[in-house]
Structure 1
Amino acid sequence: MKHSVYIVVATLITLIEQIYARSCVVDSFKVKEDFDIQRYGGTWYAISKKDPEGLFLQDNISAEYTVDEDGTMTASSKGRVKLFGFWLICADMAAQYSVPDSAVPAKMYMTYQGLASYLSSGGDNYWVIDTDYDNYAITYACRTLKEDGTCNDGYSIIFSRNPRGFSQAILRIVRQKQEELCMAGQFQSVLQSGAC
């Protein structure tokens, strides 16, 4: 009898783990419906972030998104980066965005380059998970996937139009989206002191 109970419990635990893992499958993440790239343009300030592996902007991060009439978007970003483990300097990045599937304009691909030799260049997915265009934007990228479709190396940035942050109502929305991205508790605040 005890053996049967253990089998039932083990089966239930396995099912719960599978359900949880499925909810964290990157392809199941919802992005902003009817994303309007024109409204997204303008200045955004990073309020919190979950970094990927490797060198990443530390603080005072802002991005100026420019959208051409044809919908092509570019960005000029800046922020402080830590070099050699102790030296904080302001750095500039540039990025270009393309939309691989016009049916899902919130799922973009970003090609970026550092404007100094010590900064990296490359490309990542750039998904706008949610935004109200006037107050907040939640972006997400997964650099590598695990075999089960969950993210192995991902990052997310929570942006605000105001460098001082959000109201409590918007914080509730942001926290819910962090849960949906399976990143709750992984974010760190981004200092906005005007250093860059």
Structure 2
Amino acid sequence: MKCFKYFFLAAFITIFEHCRGQTCVVDNFKVKDDFEFNRYAGKWYAVSKKDPEGLFLQDNISAEYTLDGEGTMTASSKGRVKLFGFWLICADMAAQYSVPDPTTPAKMYMTYQGLASYLSSGGDNYWVIDTDYDNYAITYACRTLHEDGTCNDGYSIIFSRNPRGFSPAITRIVRQKQEEICMTGQFQTVLQSGAC
């Protein structure tokens, strides 16, 4: 019986330490080390997403990232958006990215504009949480924080180079990263039917 008590106490301490280490404070989230813009450039397809509050692209989302001669990254995105609660139309967005801290290039600031009057314009953080450049990329943005530093209104998009998604091995990596940014179970699949 005494061994069972010690085993239970050790298991409890292990679980407590894991939970304490799993913090949802946004500033503690890790991003891709040594992020390489030239490898990230090209076409990506959204395969799942966690939306922010308000109007957001619905499905058939893709983004084409390019670099200019000075190394500035821009993107043109497409996707369907639902207007008036029922009308789905294809929409175009454009974005430009800046790097506030050159020592952390994966933490960018994105300035975006909808290319139609019903789409919003503005700016958000754009963090690349992880990517292998060839298969997947996990992006994250938090628009507003709670007083404790956790995210109040944020979003994330999981991108793939292939519109059909990932292998089981890549899926496991993506799920682990979703847990690390405290968004497990919050994602919905993004339809890629070629509508846009």
Shared fold, TM over 0.5: yes
Alignment match, 1:141: 141
- 2:77 aligns to what? 77
Return the alpha-carbon distance in structure 2 between the equivalents of residues 156 and 171 of structure 1: 16
Aligned equivalent of 1:30: 30
Q: How does 1:152-191 map to 2 (within 5 A)?
A: 152-191=152-191
Q: Pairwise mapping of residues 35-50 of structure 1 onto structure 2 (< 5 A)?
A: 35-50=35-50
* Runs of at least 5 residues in structure 1 that lack an aligned partner in the other structure: 1-11
Amino acid at match of 2:137: A
**TM-score, normalised on structure 2?**
0.90
CA contact (8 A) 2:44 2:63 kept: yes
AA aligned opposite 1:162: N
Specify every segment of 5 or more residues in structure 2 that has no aligned partner in the other structure, as ranges.
1-11
Q: Percent identity?
A: 85
In 1, Cα distance between equivalents of 2:173 and 2:22:
22
2:63 paired with 1:90: no
Q: Number of residues paired by the alignment? A: 181
Q: Structure 1 length as normaliser, TM-score?
A: 0.90
**Corresponding letter in the other structure for 2:123:** G
Secondary structure of 1:38's aligned partner: helix
Aligned CA RMSD, in angstroms, stands at 1.5
Shift of 1:50: 0.2
- Taking the aligned partners of 1:46 and 1:135, their CA distance within structure 2 comes to 12
**1:130 & 1:22 partners in 2: Cα distance?**
17
Q: Which amino acid aligns with 1:170?
A: I
Extract structure 1 runs of 4+ deviating beyond 2 A: 19-22
The answer (yes or no) to whether the contact 1:21–1:150 under 8 Å persists in 2 is: no
Aligned AA for 2:174? V
